[in-house]
Amino acid sequence: MEQICIVTTVVDSRSVADVLAAAAVAGRLAACAQVGGPVDSTYWWQSRMETTREWSVQFKTAADRSAALVDHIRTAHPYDVPEIVVARVETTPAYAAWVHEQTRG
């Protein structure tokens, strides 16, 4: 098994999720991106509990491209404190090779 990274974030509109996904794939920062939702998120913000409808974006990328992808998400994200979670996962050698190839110019 080989490792890749799955990077996940959430945003407050489908259109923003679609733009983040497309920009990351077009820029070769991610091999693919999946948009899902809506999902209702409950969390603390500025001393208040809030519930917001959000859309999740899950990006698959090579480990050596994850920092650049995180920088891109952070810059393009509309939230003051965006959720950006990076997980290293094991996958088949063929899928890892595909992810690696797609994240190169």
Neighbours of 66 (CB within 10 A): 21
Q: Interhelix angle for 66-76 vs 14-26, to 10°? A: 140
Burial 1-11 (b: 16+ CB within 10 A, else e): ebebbbbbbbb
Note the pLDDT of residue 105: 76
Domains of the chain and CATH, by start: 2-102 (3.30.70.120)
Does residue 101 have a pLDDT over 80? yes
| Cα–Cα distance measured from residue 93 to residue 102, given in angstroms and rounded to the nearest whole number | 14
Its pTM stands at 0.95
Q: Which 3 state secondary structure label does DSSP give 5? A: strand
Does residue 42 have a pLDDT over 80? yes
pLDDT digits (tens, 9 = 90+) for 72-97: 999 999 999 999 999 999 999 999 99
